[in-house]
Amino acid sequence: MNLSWMAWTKPTATFFILIFCMLVAMTIWEMKSPGGAPRVGILRFETTRGDRLFVSLLGAAYIHILWLALFPGLALWWAFAIACVYAFCVFKWV
């Protein structure tokens, strides 16, 4: 299989491995506690764990894109830290 079209660096591989691990963890969580634990948070509509994971990942993508646009020379670890805090907040309050 020819995968030369993508820059498979360690950070790229780590990114995809982490996304895969999140999906596996969410699957195991769903199997142990079915139903997705729906609740109404600050958005005022019902969300499940999967919805909150999706919102977290989408928000993390926008945080990183904005970081690259606004702070092109700074390391992405700060954007990653902000995205982790954002994901924690989403899972706690959304």
**43 and 62 Cβ atoms separated by less than 8 Å:** no
Burial class (CB in 10 A: 0-12, 13-18, 19+), 64: middle
User: What is the domain partition of the chain in residue ranges?
Assistant: 10-93
For all residues of the chain together, what is the average pLDDT?
88
Q: What token pair was written down for 81? A: 């830290």
pLDDT tens-digit readout, 29-73: 889 988 767 889 898 889 988 899 999 999 999 999 999 999 998
Contacts of 61-67 spanning 24+ positions with Cβ under 8 A: none
> Residue 1: its pLDDT value, please?
65
What share of the chain has pLDDT > 70, as a percent?
A: 97
